[in-house]
Amino acid sequence: MLTQEIKTVLHEFALQGEPCGCEEIKVGHINRTYKITVRNMDGSEQAYILQWINSTVFPKTPEVMSNIVRVTSHIKEKLREAGKDEHTGTLTVIPLRTGESYYTDEDNNKWRMFEFIPDAITYMVCESPDMFRSVGYAFGEFQRQLADFDASTLYETIEDFHNTPKRFDNFEKAVAADVCGRAGEVASEIRFIRERKNRYSVITDALASGRIPLRVTHNDTKLNNVMIDPKTGQAVCVVDLDTVMPGSSLYDFGDAIRFGASSADEDETDLSKVFVRTDLYEAFTEGFCEALEGALTDEEIRMFPDGAWMMTVEVGMRFLTDYLSGDTYFRIGYPKHNLDRARNQLKLVSDMETKEAELRRITESFIPKP
C-alpha cells in the first residue's frame, strides 16, 4: 500500500510521474524492499525499487552508496563496450532531486531507489542445473567486470565480513554472554562449530600469504540476489550490491553454492531434505569458470570446495550467534527462525564433508590442463 510515509519519501526522488502503487517484496534478511509503480503524464506506468536501508547493519550509508554508484557506473561502461543493455545488466540508482544517492527522513531512516528490472524474478531454490550454470556465469561475469576496478578505492562497508576466525570469536562471545539463556538448548550445535575451529582460517591464511589473490567481490551471492528471466531460466542481473568489497573469489563461489546448490530452502526444518546437490555444484562451477576463463588461478579453483564449506559454516555460526544474542541482526519470521536456519546450514556443512571427495573431484576437472 502507498502509505503517507512512503509518498513523502518518494517525493524526494527525481521521478517524472505520480506514484500510484506500492507492494512489499519480501526477499532478503536485512533491508526492506518495495516495488513502486509510477504513472507518467501520458498514462503509461513505470516500476521502481524503493529500499529502506537497515542502518544498524549498514551504519556507513554514504560509503555503501558511494561503492554502489561507482561499481555500477564501472559495470555500465563494460556493458556499453559489449553492446549490452546497461539498464538491465546492472542496477541503476535513481538520485534525489538534489542529486544525492539516498534520502534520510526525519526519523533518520535511510532510503534509496533503483530502476526496476523488468521481466525477471528471484528464486529461493534453483530449478535446474541449467539455471544454476547461468547464475554461475552471471556472478563470474560480475567479478570479471570489476577485475580492473581499483579495490583500494572501495570502502569496506562491513569490516571483516567474511573473516571466519573473527566470526568464530564473536560466536564464542555470544555463547559466553548467553544473554537470552539459550546456550543450553543448542549445546550440540555449539560443539559442532567448536570441533571445526582449526579449519576456519584456511581462506584468511591463503589470502594473507598471497597464495590466492584479493579481488573485488560481491560477497553475498545468494541465488535470490540474481534476477532471472522466468521464461528462459537465464540470469539477467546481479543485485544487492551492499557488500561489494575487496574479498576472495572463494567467498562468491562459496556463498552461491551454500544457498543455490542446497536441495532445500535456507530455513527448511526437515533436515533429511537438506543436502548439497552435486549436479548443481558442477553446473555452477562450469558457468563461473567459463565467465572467468583465464582470470582464476589454479589454486583458487582448487580451493572452491573450501569456499563452499567455509561460507556455509560461517553463516551457520552467524545465525546461531544471532539466536544466542536475541535476534538483533537477521530479520526473523518467527521466534526460533535463526535457530532453524543455523541447524539447516550445519546439516549442509555435514553433507559437504560427507561428499568432500566428490566435490574435490568435480572441482579438479575445471582446473585448466597445462
Stretches 24-32, 125-133, 278-286, 346-354: which one binds ligand GN1 (CB under 6 A)? 24-32
Which one-letter amino acid corresponds to residue 341? R
If the CB atoms of residues 242 and 306 are measured against ligand GN1, the closer one turns out to be: 242
136: contact with ligand GN1 by CB under 6 A:
no
Round to whole Å and give the CA distance between 198 and 63.
34
Here the cell at position 112 is: 534509496
28: contact with ligand GN1 by CB under 6 A:
yes
User: CA-CA-CA-CA torsion for 132, 137, 139, 142, nearest 10 degrees?
Assistant: -160
Site residues for ligand GN1, window 227-266 (CB under 6 A)? 240, 242-243, 266
The binding track of 266-285 with respect to ligand GN1, each residue x by CB under 6 A or -, is x-------------------
Instruction: Identify the residue among 2, 57, 96, 124 touching ligand GN1 (CB under 6 A).
Output: 57
CB 347 to ligand GN1: min, Å? 15
- Helix (H, G, I), strand (E, B), or coil: what is residue 273? helix
Site residues for Mg ion, window 166-225 (CB under 5 A)? 220
The binding track of 11-50 with respect to Mg ion, each residue x by CB under 5 A or -, is -------------------x--------------------
**Alpha-helix runs per DSSP H in the chain:** 4-11, 61-81, 129-145, 164-177, 187-195, 202-208, 249-260, 278-291, 298-302, 304-324, 337-354, 356-364
CB 345 to ligand GN1: min, Å? 9
Round to whole Å and give the CA distance between 1 and 170.
39
CB 256 to ligand GN1: min, Å? 11
Round to whole Å and give the CA distance between 255 and 322.
19
CB 222 to Mg ion: min, Å? 8
CB 125 to ligand GN1: min, Å? 13
**Left (φ > 0), alpha (ψ -120 to 50) or beta: where does 181 sit?**
left
313 beta partners: none
Instruction: Identify the residue among 9, 10, 12, 30 touching ligand GN1 (CB under 6 A).
Output: 30
Chain length of the chain? 370
Chain residues in the site for ligand GN1 (CB under 6 A)? 28-30, 57, 220, 222, 225, 240, 242-243, 266, 315
